[in-house]
Amino acid sequence: MKKVFLIIIIVLLLICFSCVGLFSFMLTSPSKEGKNVDFTIERGKTYSNIAGVLKEKGLIRNELVYKVYIKLNAPTKGLEAGDYSIKNNLSVKELISELEKGTTSHAKTITVKFLEGKNMRSVIKTINSSFGYSEEDILNKLKDTSYLDTLIKDYWFLTDSIKNKNIYYSLEGYLFPDTYEFYENASIDDIFRKMLSNMEKKLEGYKESVDKSKYSIHEMITLASIIELEAGNASDRKGVAGVFYNRLKSGWSLGSDVTTYYAEKIDNFSRDLKRSELNNCNSYNTRSSCMAGRLPVGPICNPGIESIIATITPTNHKYYYFVADKNGKTYFNETDSGHTSTVSKLKREGLWINYEN
């Protein structure tokens, strides 16, 4: 009889310890992402009756456990109605602390514009001038492989390709160029994630096409970044994409000057390229013979949606050459002789683009 009583006591204790352990676990962070979650709390709501909203937004693990915690640990400040932006990697205790700080409705916001076709060096300058983060701070974030792993986990279009040691800037090409509104105290992570989330929305309708392509999403964004800088106008982008795909299929070099400019870190195409630069075997430089049949190691700018769509749905044709005049009009040719003839014609007519040396 004593043994049976002892066994019952032990079982009850184990159940008790298990319940305590489970309760404690339910109070821990529901995610490791550290992603900002935006939500609104209506007037008259209390800490207890917003449990459903917090669970729906992925900010707590369990509604009942959250409510029990509120009963046992009454917040010192009433819940303020308004807009909130809270990270999803907080424990219940930390979450309550953030809720007690009040809404973000009164926080000052700033509008920041990132232009299409600009590379990461331009993005860094914009972030520096708008938020005050140093170039070193931003570059360290881009080089942090643990941080990149969290982004790769959160965004389907990011792959291990962005961690290639030959890539200049890991997120080049993926920060969608647009006009954004940020809180003035936004972190570098907040900035990157907002731009990446925008890219995700833009790509959402094309995911099936991307999955069916023989090219990876990284290769397609890379090609889109070249098209962004090469195509004279939006209507020609699908045709330019077709030229590059034809060259890749035939094992040719893409022969794109803009990749050489990027390889040499020359911005704004401010001068003609030197012969040594054109021939330099660099993993970005598609003018070099060592890059025949290959795309650059990564994107060379942040492309707009038209260039991305052109890469996903190119025009099928037999052209291998194209050139744009100073007015942005693009001319296509099947042969080198035809291309040379077009270039000569443009020079005669004063439509050739001349760079300042």
State residue 6's pLDDT score. 46
* Structure confidence at residue 2 as a pLDDT band (50, 70, 90): low
Residues 177 and 223 in one domain: no
Let me know the angle formed at the C-alpha of 73 by 68 and 74, rounded to the nearest 5 degrees. Answer: 100
| Least confident residue range of 19-28, 39-48, 52-61, 342-351 | 19-28
Rounded to whole angstroms, how far apart are CA atoms 262 and 256? Answer: 10
pLDDT of residue 200: 96
Q: Which of 39, 74, 100 is the last residue of a domain?
A: 100
- Give yes or no: residues 139 and 197 share one domain: yes
Residue 96 lies in a domain: yes
Structure-token pair, residue 107: 């926080």
The pLDDT assigned to 105 comes to 60
Q: What is the mean pLDDT of the chain?
A: 89
For residue 12, is it within any domain?
no
| Domain match, 226 and 324 both | yes
**Per-residue pLDDT at 214:** 95
In a domain, 27, yes or no: yes
Which domain-ending residue is among 50, 77, 100?
100
Domain of 57?
Answer: 22-100
Q: What integer is the mean pLDDT of 122-132? A: 97
Query: Is 354 a member of any domain?
Result: no
Q: How many structural domains is the chain composed of?
A: 3
290 located within any domain: yes
Q: Do residues 110 and 184 touch, judged by C-beta distance below 8 A?
A: yes
- What is the rounded distance in angstroms from the CA atom of residue 118 to the CA atom of residue 148? 21
Q: What is the pLDDT of residue 14?
A: 44
Cα–Cα nearest to 164, from 108, 202, 111, 219: 219
**Statement: residue 355 has pLDDT above 70:** no
Residue 1, pLDDT score: 57
Q: Is residue 95 part of a domain?
A: yes
**Together in a domain, 82 and 144:** no
32 has a pLDDT exceeding 50: yes
What H or E segment, with its residue span, contains residue 183?
strand 179-183
Question: In the prediction, which pLDDT does 126 show?
Answer: 98
Q: Which of 96-110, 140-154, 276-290 has the lowest mean pLDDT?
A: 96-110
The CA distances from residue 169 to 43, 138, 267, 275, in Å, are 45, 10, 15, 26
pLDDT above 80 (res 237): yes
Residue 134, pLDDT score = 95
Q: Is the pLDDT of residue 336 over 70?
A: yes
More confident residue, 135 or 72: 135
For residues 171-197, give the mean pLDDT.
93
* Residue where a domain terminates, one of 79, 100, 121: 100
pTM: 0.75
> Does one domain contain both 26 and 66?
yes
Q: Is 226 a member of any domain?
A: yes
What pLDDT, on the 0 to 100 scale, is given for residue 22? 60
